[in-house]
Amino acid sequence: MTSHSDIAGHGTVSGAADIAAALSGPVVLAAFDLFPHAMLVVDGAQRVRWINKRMEALCGIPRERAVGLPCAQVLRSGLCVHGCPAHAGTPSLRRETDLLSAARRKIPVAVTSLRLGDGEEADLRLVVVEDLGRVKDLEKSLSASSSLPGGRLLGRSREMERLLDVLPVIAQAEAPVLITGETGTGKDLVAEALHAGSARSRESFVRLNPSPMPEELLDSELFGHVKGAFPWAASDKVGRIQAAAGGTIYVAELADLPMPQQVGLLRLLDEKVIAPVGSQSSVRVDVRLMAATHRAPEELVRQGRLREDLLHRLAAVRVHLPPLRDRAGDVEFLLHHFLAAYAGMLKKSVTGFSPKALRILADYSWPGNVRELKNVVEYAVMVCQEARVLPAHLPMHVLEEAQRRRRRPRGQAAGEARHG
Amino acid sequence: MARTVLVPLLRNEVAPRFDLALEVLLARISDEGEEISRDIILLDHASADGLCDFVLKNDVAAVLVGGIEEEYYHYLRWKRVEVVDQVMGPVDAVLERFRAGRLAPGDILYGEEAWS
């Protein structure tokens, strides 16, 4: 009598054997030729038994010539020469290294070695070589633009450190993000940093500035249109949202987006679809939405300029950038940072600020925040002919505020700065 | 005038990569193609830059190698060093073919069925 477990066991083994038999056929080897990765089969004597077309292209040796050659000569990876791991006895392993192609190029690769079969074929291994060149290039460009958690966002204050701590976590989430903060605080940089740190970073980051334009044009710009949707629509056009598919769409000023387009965004958030102008059907789009505003969003809702339901969906994650005047210690840090940057850029030997200039700048209210500070430093470095920036090198509006402050009682001036 | 030939080694075969070789063979070959002398030198570390310096310091006239990066290939050629790359096989067979003036880039000299 056969027990249930016997049947089950037999069934599994028989199924596996069938699959193994099918996989050992020439069809699979032919299929390997279609793979985007280079592949080779090597035996226990470290000789090549088979390579696919991609490997042929990489090593510059036709398959019939490669068979029988030492695998180290064909693969030419960094692992081949010093302690080849492919024959370590483990069933499978993956290592990152590089290889030298027939075109004399060193290519970063990941080499995966899999033992084939359990019996006599146990000595055979399938080696899969993934080209990591594109990935490494992207990593390099990303790390260049965002070696800090917040990309090009700078700051040493407690407020900024708290923000820079949470940005990587927010970046990894898929939720929509609403970025608020006064003008010049770096809302665009936050959006860029969030995209760069997300799993979508290899796809597009599309920025949308809803500048005043006819409504139908804005609709077309955002959602695209089909041929004939407008008298001038001679062909189908993909909108900015579709252009960001797989990546991130960033609305730079939410308050500038008219109500009808806000409905479209709402549908995108709820159903992940958009409706191109003139189209009978909706288009599914996988995109992360980020939006920013320099106004208080609740105030915009009260004024009827922002849909409340859109605000609630967008504000799943809300990032607020503090104004520069509330970032204790950052003004001095940023002044020195931009001074060094502009001195290098403009080839000036300016090394610092005079104590008086520094006091004027530290007391200034910075209504334009970091953007304004950057411009002030650029101007000062440009006009400065000394080793240090003096008050005379500062822009007139900064000096005028300092004069007004001197003429008024200290408490009043501080109050003005807070509300300016 | 005798010429010096350098072959990066992996055991007794031409090394698959110039930049990873830890051992090189230096052979002196006469005008008539006779091998005058042969030295095997162990390097303290693998480096393409270091090996290029070694080639120039030792007045090497030809390098026979498996793979070499474009940058180093052109540098050596610019320094008037002959480079025969994409060569595979036991070092004796490779040197013998070179001495006969028949070694070409891409030659594979393994076993009885040597391809060229």
Q: Where are the domains of chain A?
A: 22-131, 144-322, 325-419
CB distance A295 to A253 below 8 Å: no
Kindly state the average pLDDT of the residues A181-196. Answer: 90
Least confident of A116-130, A178-192, A317-331: A116-130
Cβ proximity of B17 and B74 under 8 Å: no
Q: Retrieve residue A295's tokens.
A: 């106004």
H-run or E-run covering B45? none
Residue B58: inside a domain: yes
Q: Which of B20, B70, B86 sits opposite A82 (nearest CB)?
A: B20
Q: Which CATH number belongs to the domain containing residue B92 in this structure? A: 3.30.420.130
Residue B114 falls within a domain, yes or no? no
Residues of A in contact with B75 (CB under 8 A): none
Confidence grade of residue A320 (pLDDT, cut at 50, 70, 90): very high
Instruction: For residue B105, tell me if it sits in a domain.
Output: no
User: In chain B, what residues touch A78 (CB-CB under 8 Å)?
Assistant: 17, 20
| Whether pLDDT at B40 is above 90 | yes
For chain A, say whether B111 makes contact (Cβ under 8 Å): yes
Partners of B86 on chain A (C-beta within 8 Å) are 60, 102
CATH code at A144-322: 3.40.50.300
Asked if residue A179 has pLDDT above 90, the reply is: yes
- Tell if the CB–CB gap between A106 and B69 is shorter than 8 Å: yes
Interface contacts A/B by beta carbons within 8 Å: 54
Chain A residues within an 8 Å CB radius of B45: none
Residue of B nearest to A64 (CA): B115
Residue type, A16: A
Count of CB atoms situated within 10 Å of the CB of A148: 13
Question: In the beta sheet, which residues pair with residue A48?
Answer: A42
Q: In the predicted model, is pLDDT for residue A143 greater than 50?
A: yes
Confidence category of residue A196, pLDDT binned at 50, 70, 90: confident
Residue A291 CA, chain-centre distance (Å), reads: 16
Is the Cβ pair A73, B111 closer than 8 Å? no
Please, is A173 exposed, middle or buried when counting C-beta atoms within 10 Å of its C-beta (0-12, 13-18, 19+)?
middle
Q: Which residue of B has its CA nearest to A65?
A: B115
Provide the residue range defining the domain that includes B30. 3-99
Report the pLDDT value the prediction gives residue A139, as an integer from 0 to 100.
60
Q: Which residue of chain B has the CA closest to A71?
A: B16
User: Does pLDDT of A173 surpass 90?
Assistant: no
Whether B13 contacts chain A with CB within 8 A: yes
Return the pLDDT at B104: 94
- The pLDDT tens digits of the residues spanning A384-412 come to 998 999 999 999 999 988 888 877 655 55
Residue A211 has pLDDT above 80, yes or no: no
Q: Taking the domain A22-131, which CATH number applies?
A: 3.30.450.20
Among A61, A69, A100, the residue with its CB nearest the CB of B17 is: A100
The model's pLDDT over A264-314, given as tens digits with 9 standing for 90+, comes to 999 999 999 888 888 888 888 889 999 999 999 999 999 998 999 999 998
Tell me which residue has tokens 């080499």.
A111
Tell me the shortest Cα–Cα distance from A41 to chain B, in angstroms.
Answer: 18
**Contacts with B113 from chain A: Cβ below 8 Å:** 68
Confidence of residue B64 (pLDDT cuts 50, 70, 90): very high
Task: Read off the DSSP letter of residue A152.
Answer: T
Name the 3-class secondary structure at B115: strand
Share of chain A above pLDDT 90, in %: 29
Q: What tens digit of pLDDT does each residue of B79-94 get?
A: 999 999 999 999 999 9
What is the residue type of A234? A
Compute φ and ψ for B37, nearest 5 degrees: -150, 165
Average predicted confidence (pLDDT) for chain B: 92
What is the pLDDT, as a whole number, of residue A148?
43
As a whole number of angstroms, the distance between CA A303 and CA A321 comes to 23
B106 assigned to some structural domain: no
Is B113 part of any domain? Answer: no
Q: Is the CB of residue A358 less than 8 Å from the CB of residue A332?
A: yes
Q: What is the mean pLDDT of residues B5-19?
A: 95
Query: Residues B101, B33: contact at Cβ < 8 Å?
Result: yes
Average pLDDT over residues A173-177: 91
For A3, counting Cβ atoms within 10 Å of its Cβ (0-12 exposed, 13-18 middle, 19+ buried), the class is exposed
Q: Model confidence at B9, in pLDDT bands (50, 70, 90)?
A: very high
Total domain count, chain B? 1
Of B88, B76, B71, B97, nearest in space to B17 by CA = B88
Q: For A69, name the nearest residue in chain B, comparing CA atoms only.
A: B110
Q: Which residues of B touch A104 (CB under 8 A)?
A: 67-70, 73, 85
- B67 Cβ under 8 Å from any chain A Cβ: yes
**In this structure, which amino acid lies at residue A55?**
M
- Residue of chain B whose Cα is closest to the Cα of A73: B16
Cβ of B66 within 8 Å of Cβ of A68? The answer is no
Nearest to A76 among B46, B67, B106 (CB): B67
- CA separation for the pair A211, A209 (Å, rounded): 6
Overall pTM surpassing 0.80 (yes/no): no
More confident: A233 or A374: A374
Please report which residue ranges of A224-350 form alpha helices under DSSP H.
Answer: 240-243, 259-271, 297-302, 308-314, 330-345
Cα–Cα distance list, A37 to A42, A80, A95, A111, A113 (Å): 16, 18, 15, 10, 13
Give the pLDDT score at A6: 41
Phi, psi (deg, nearest 5) at residue A113: -115, 125
CA distance A377 to B60: 57
Measuring CA to CA, which residue among A217, A313, A300, A230 is closest to residue A265?
A: A313
Residues near B34 by beta carbon (within 8 Å), at least 6 away in sequence:
B99
Average pLDDT over residues A242-258: 88
Task: Identify the pLDDT of residue A416.
Answer: 47
pLDDT confidence bin for B72, thresholds 50/70/90: very high
Q: At what angle do helices A330-345 and A369-383 cross, to 10 degrees?
A: 40
Round to whole Å and give the CA distance between A60 and A54: 10
Which position has the higher pLDDT, A102 or A22? A102
pLDDT of residue A412: 53
Architecture of domain A325-419: Orthogonal Bundle (1.10)
- Give chain A positions within 8 Å (CB) of B115: 65
